[in-house]
Structure 1
Amino acid sequence: MAEVQFLALTTKPSAQLAYTFQAPEATTTPVLVVFLNGLGLPQAFWQPVIRQLQTLRQGHPLPAFLTYDRYGQGQTTDRDPQDADAADPTHGHDCLAAVQDLRQLLVQITRDQLGVSDLATVRLVLVGNSIGCALARLYAQEYPGTVAALLLLDSVLANSDFVSVFPDPDAPGFDPASIAPIPVEAIRAVRAGARRVFHPEVGSKEGLSRRNLRQLLPHSDGPPLQGPDGHGPYVTVVGHDFDAFAAESAKMGPPAPVTNRFVNPYWQRYNEGLAQITAPEYSMGPVIAPNAGHFVQKDNPEFVAQELNALLEKVL
């Protein structure tokens, strides 16, 4: 496993970020693969993917790899300094602020670790899971022409409140027969659980807020992204295995039949839209990750490495 190091962003000098960096091998093209965590798993869970990829690419060029923990996450114990005066520390900053931090991190890493003074000359490959996919999209939107490829692993439903995924038994004209044989009270309980755990009004331990994520990314299928070569970036969209996710969700509350009937089709439609953020000839997916729930990199790192390798073959 790569050694964890610490640095302070020049824009936030009072706090340290934990990161790992692995230098490129046998490649003349400056390519940097950046792994973007969700809210649930820290950077350490990307290391099995990197090891699998190194095995796959034996004898072939290897890019540079960067993992990091955002403020207040994993091995980054420092909080975001800008959250110090937040009324609610669980909603201290939004995804756009996290993207701006990422930009500054990349400026410093490419300068200090790659010896490259102009970040625009580095081909970026962003690999995200969950809310990390939203960060990847926002980065590509905020800095057009800079991202060569994106691997999106079970993206957060950025434009959803996570409650409306399920029918509302209290809506006018609701017909209980429409959800049969699922009892009305079961759906009502599932909606309450989703609101309590997943609604955007629920903050996070790291202070990253999702309150305005629906405004930042209102559509799964746009806007179209611009890559560095006059066309859209290569994009691979990966979704969870339906059965594995249903079993995973059942441990938290929603019975598998409810997840299979409402959540999985909803998520699949979202992913189908996500595959349209680039031109069709540069898009792949949605591809289902076998035996993987929401945390694809944990459940099937070999599959992630294979999909990332396929993208690198196009970028390197």
Structure 2
Amino acid sequence: MPTMTLPSKPDAVLAYELLPGDAASSLLVVFLNGLGLPQSVWQPTIELFQQQSSVSPKPWLLTYDRYGQGSSSRDPRESWPSKDPGYAHTLDEVTDDLHELIQTLSRDRQSRIVFVNNSIGAQVARRYADRHPTIVEGILFLDSNPGNTNYDSIWPNPKDPSFNLEQMMCTIFSGNAKNAEGFDRRDIKDMLPDPSSPKLKGSKTSADKGPWVTVVGHELEQFSQEEWTMLKVPIGMAAMYTQPMWHKYNEGLGRLTDPDRAKGPLIAPKSGHFIQKDNPAFVAKELQDLIEKVEASA
């Protein structure tokens, strides 16, 4: 796996892979990880897309591990006196790093971007698109993390001593919870309180339109089994509590753009939270559809 250093952080390496497309293509597809899996999980999707896609010219593809993930170094910010232990980088700092990475690796393709993201990668894509308007022309949301939700509010009586899911769920998914990467999520709920705003601006060639957006959610049965296997959340709890909240959030994501440029929410067959791992063929198909729309409107 190649590594590089950002000019602003010369002592820390980022692991990445930049797969060249056609020289004539000005489009860069960027894959954004969640907290749980590194960039390598996108490889099956990318291979299928490259083998089956009829998109011409073929876009360039970029995967990477954020600081603290996969094969990348720990974030140098962790040693800053101003940082609370366990909270290495905020959402804006992550988008700053991403912007610097794109400028460093792919300067010729930094003005036309499609994001493919899973989980908290949705917040990175939204924030990047809002901070760099008219650059992001398409977004494929894969089981986005509902970053505006207090998870302890959706469970029945989570403070009741007899209810034992608070530690399992709220301390993992809550914005205050620490994670191995050091992604500080504490301000995301206030920064992006509404899944449907701020509205996003699309390409320079159609500035009055938003980007093309496809929203995909998990299959309930697969997700419920995944929660039981990983967290021992009883089967049926997701259907009663998390699923209604999650579906409403996904519906909101579709309203980030114009109605005629939104697709979904779709349900990825046989897929839990990590859709790119469970059904890469589905992701490759939806990515091709999204890129075809982007290029047709360019």
For residues 295 and 92 of structure 1, the distance between their equivalents in structure 2, rounded to whole angstroms, comes to 24
2:49 counterpart SS class: helix
* Residue matched to 1:159: 148
CA distance in 2, matches of 1:312, 1:262: 34
Q: Does 1:195 align with 2:170?
A: yes
Given the alignment of the two structures, is residue 239 of structure 1 paired with residue 234 of structure 2, yes or no?
no
Which of 251-260 and 80-89 deviates more? 80-89
Q: Computing the radius of gyration over CA atoms, which structure comes out larger, 1 or 2?
A: 1
Query: Cα distance, 1:89 vs. partner?
Result: 3.5
Match of 1:16 in 2: 13
Q: 2:90 aligns with which of 89, 94, 105?
A: 94
The Cα of 1:170 is off from its aligned counterpart by 6.2
Contact 2:159 2:166 in 1 (8 A): no
Distance in 2 separating the partners of 1:61 and 1:288? 29
Give the partner amino acid of 2:2. Q
Find the counterpart in structure 1 of residue 77 from structure 2.
82
- Which whole-Å deviations, capped at 9, do the CAs of 1:114-158 have from their partners, x for residues lacking one? xx2x733xx100010000111000100111111000000000111
CA deviation after TM superposition for structure 1 residue 210, in Å: 0.8
Residue 58 of structure 1, CA deviation: 5.1
Q: TM-score, normalised by structure 2?
A: 0.93
The match for 1:103 is: 99
Q: Report if the CA contact (8 A) 2:25-2:60 is conserved.
A: no
Q: Which ranges of structure 1 fall in alignment gaps of 5 or more residues?
A: 172-183
2:266 is aligned with 1:287: yes
Contact 2:196/2:256, CA 8 A, preserved across alignment: yes
Aligned positions of 1:1-316 closer than 5 A: 4-25=1-22, 28-57=24-53, 60-76=56-72, 78-86=73-81, 87-111=83-107, 116=108, 119-120=110-111, 123-168=112-157, 185=162, 188-228=163-203, 229-230=206-207, 231-251=209-229, 252-316=231-295
Residue 29 of structure 1: CA displacement? Answer: 3.3
Deviation string 1:265-285 (CA, Å, 9 cap, x unpaired) is 111111011110001000001
Contact between 2:90 and 2:183, CA under 8 Å: does it hold in 1? yes
Q: Distance in 1 between matches of 2:158 and 2:62?
A: 46
CA distance in 1, matches of 2:58, 2:235: 41
**Partners of 2:97 and 2:126 in 1: how far apart?**
15
| Offset at residue 88 of structure 1 (A) | 3.5
Superposed CA offset, 1:194-240 (max 9, x none)? 22322222111121111111011111111110011211000000000
Structure 2: unaligned runs, 5 residues or longer: none
Query: Higher mean Cα deviation, 237-246 or 255-264?
Result: 255-264
3-state SS in 2 of match to 1:238: strand
Q: CA shift at 1:192, angstroms?
A: 3.5
SS at match of 2:189: helix
CA distance in 2, matches of 1:236, 1:282: 8
Q: Which amino acid aligns with 1:12?
A: K
Q: Deviations over 1:153-194 (max 9, x none)?
A: 0001110122212233669xxxxxxxxxxxx94xx2223422
Write the deviation string for residues 11-58 of structure 1: whole angstroms up to 9, x where unpaired: 111211000011112x62311000000000000000100011012115
Return structure 1 stretches of 4+ with deviation > 6 angstroms: none
Judge which range, 192-201 or 216-225, deviates more.
192-201
Preserved contact between residue 125 and residue 139 of structure 2 (Cα < 8 Å): yes
Identity of aligned residues (%): 41
Aligned-pair Cα RMSD in Å: 1.7
Any idea what the Cα deviations from partners look like across 1:267-307, whole Å, max 9, x if unmatched?
11110111100010000010000000000000000000000
Kindly tell me: are residues 23 and 224 of structure 1, through their superposed partners in 2, closer, same or farther at Cα, counting changes over 3 Å? same
